[in-house]
Amino acid sequence: MNRVHIRTYGCQMNERDSEAVASQLVARGYRIVDREEEADIVLLNTCSVRDQAEQKAIGKMGHLAKRKRRNPDFVIGFMGCMAQNRGPELLERLPDVDLIVGTQRFHHMPEYLDRLTASRESGVPVPSSIVDLEEETGSQNTIREHLPERRKVSAFVSIMQGCNMACTFCIVPKTRGRERGRPIGEIVREIEELAADGTREVTLLGQIVTSYGRGEIPVRNGKSPFVQLLERVHEVDGIERIRFTSPHPRGFNRDLAEAYRDLPKLCNYVHLPLQSGSDRMLRRMNRPYSRKKYLEIVENLRRNVPDMYFSTDIIVGFPGETEDDFHQTCEVFDRVGYDMAYIFKYSKRSGTPAEAMEDQISSEVKEARNQELLGRLEKLSGRRNQALVGTTQEILVEGPARKGPYFTGRTRGNRVAFFEGNERLVGELVEMYVDRATPSSLYGSLVLAGVDT
């Protein structure tokens, strides 16, 4: 009864939470398995940002419930954002579920599973399903463990939880709570441990990562708490690259733009959510910046780092979005020239102001606008990658590719690269001559002086 499979839906924050839970379970004597068919316990770490992710999780749990009816000792549970937002409703809809744990109680998972498995082994069932959706002070400090056998060249590090913004489309403040940051020293110690075990790149995670430490850590020498943290991480021996996600445009003041210029380990890649290029839509979304301000941020970043790579988030079909609003988004899209974009068709989220807004957009219009931006993205990304053909790019080697006789890694600009190599190179920074490119990937050969690949 100790084999656990965790399936994760949604963002990098959820991936990191799942890894921390897995590490806590391994420390308690559980075994993590990759195949749900082999598991005695299946946990779904859920997402509430989009309806599609919720429906996938509910569908999967319904499938698992059928297995549970055949084998009552099989344990199934929800955790994460959907669990937090819809816990009692989920239990009513899926009464076979044993466990529903919210976003601030992940670290209690081992004790809850101990209770459930002990009841199965003793033959004395627990009186009801376990549901824990309480808030807990200090929960942000519990997401720090990593699975030793799964530590990678590149690792996520959670620096905070929660969100203080009030975007009208977003459920995250409700599911994750208010912003809560971890101490700088604790974050740095975690990264030092990762570096000692071979991690070479870290991605700092937060709902709005650039808000880290606001109101808790004083500004020093004109530098925000987040920039102070970047400087401390930059000092860690063994770490060669630093990234972060997901920020908010309001966090991109002069100190952060200059950090890109002054900290060589901070990669020349930024995820800068736009959501819409229309000021009218930004106001409806309650996004506290304008189109003009956003473009000024882009220009300032490029002034400090001319070879900056940009990705973004876009919502199409937000309530009331006209053709002119969408056209303005297309204009910003082309002007920035995004290298990558996550383009979402708006979907209602229960409990958000946008749910009740008039002028909801039809699914047909959403799909057409989605396809329009995807087409533009393919052209922009393809053009940027083609410009790299014939150049030499620094690659952090991550490991064998999933398919073919290649190894894979990423450039500093976060472009995926494929090349011939061997296991000795995993974790190394190497130079790759780019022979050809597609809109999504680079292909080439390594430039290794005196070293056989």
Q: What is the pLDDT of residues 204-224, one digit of tens each?
A: 999 999 999 998 999 999 999
| Mean pLDDT value across residues 374-387 | 97
State the Cα torsion 129-135-141-146 to the nearest 10°.
Answer: 30
Burial of 400 (C-beta count, 10 Å sphere; 0-12/13-18/19+): middle
Q: Identify the pLDDT of residue 151.
A: 62
> Hey, how many other C-beta atoms are within 10 angstroms of the C-beta on 361?
18
State the Cα torsion 221-242-376-56 to the nearest 10°.
Answer: -110
The percent of residues above 90 in pLDDT, for the chain, comes to: 70
Name the one residue in this structure whose structure tokens are 């930024």: 270
Q: What mean pLDDT, rounded, does the chain reach?
A: 91
453 pLDDT higher than 60: no
Over residues 125-162, the pLDDT tens digits come to: 655 688 888 887 887 777 777 776 666 899 999 999 99
Confidence of residue 122 (pLDDT cuts 50, 70, 90): low
d(CA 384, CA 377): 11
Confidence of residue 121 (pLDDT cuts 50, 70, 90): low
Cβ-contact 182, 146 below 8 angstroms: no
46 pLDDT higher than 70: yes
Name the one residue in this structure whose structure tokens are 């979907």: 347
> Hey, how many other C-beta atoms are within 10 angstroms of the C-beta on 142?
20
Q: Identify the pLDDT of residue 124.
A: 59
d(CA 414, CA 270): 9
The percent of residues above 70 in pLDDT, for the chain, comes to: 96
Query: CA nearest 178: which of 157, 206, 152?
Result: 206
Domain ranges of the chain: 3-132, 392-447
State the Cα torsion 315-225-300-310 to the nearest 10°.
Answer: -40
Cβ-contact 172, 163 below 8 angstroms: yes
Cβ-contact 297, 248 below 8 angstroms: no
Q: Identify the pLDDT of residue 32.
A: 93
Cβ-contact 311, 342 below 8 angstroms: yes
Tokens, residue 10: 């949604």
* CATH class of this structure's domain 3-132: alpha beta
Over residues 415-447, the pLDDT tens digits come to: 999 999 988 999 999 999 999 999 999 999 999
d(CA 269, CA 302): 11
Confidence of residue 233 (pLDDT cuts 50, 70, 90): very high
d(CA 77, CA 102): 11
Residue 160, amino acid: M
- Angle among Cα 349, 355, 360 to the nearest 5 degrees reads 115
Query: CA nearest 147: which of 33, 310, 302, 250?
Result: 33
Q: Which residues contact 55 (CB under 8 A, 6 or more apart)?
A: none
Cβ-contact 306, 12 below 8 angstroms: no
Claim: this prediction has a pTM higher than 0.75: yes
Over residues 237-285, the pLDDT tens digits come to: 999 999 999 999 999 999 999 999 999 999 999 999 999 999 999 999 9
Confidence of residue 123 (pLDDT cuts 50, 70, 90): low
State the Cα torsion 211-216-219-225 to the nearest 10°.
Answer: -40
Q: What kind of fold does domain 392-447 have according to CATH?
A: OB fold (Dihydrolipoamide Acetyltransferase, E2P) (2.40.50)
Over residues 47-89, the pLDDT tens digits come to: 887 778 888 888 999 989 999 899 988 999 999 888 888 888 8
3-state SS track over the chain: CCEEEEEECCCHHHHHHHHHHHHHHHHCCCEECCCHHHCCEEEEEECCCCHHHHHHHHHHHHHHHHHHHHCCCCEEEEEEHHHHHHHHHHHHHCCCCCEEECCCCHHHHHHHHHHHHHHHHHCCCCCCCEEECCCCCCHHHHCCCCCHHHCCCEEEEECEECCCCCCCCCCHHHHHCCCEECCHHHHHHHHHHHHHCCCCEEEEECCCHHHCCCCCCCCECCECHHHHHHHHHHCCCCCCEEEEECCCHHHCCHHHHHHHHHCCCECCEEECCCECCCHHHHHHHCCCCCHHHHHHHHHHHHHHCCCCEEEEEEEECCCCCCHHHHHHHHHHHHHHCCCEEEEEECCCCCCCHHHHCCCCCCHHHHHHHHHHHHHHHHHHHHHHHHCCCCCEEEEEEEEECCCCCCEEEECCCCCEEEECCCHHHCCCEEEEEEEEECCCEEEEEEECCCCCC
Regarding beta strands 241-245 and 201-205, do their DSSP bridges make them parallel or antiparallel, or are they unpaired?
Answer: parallel
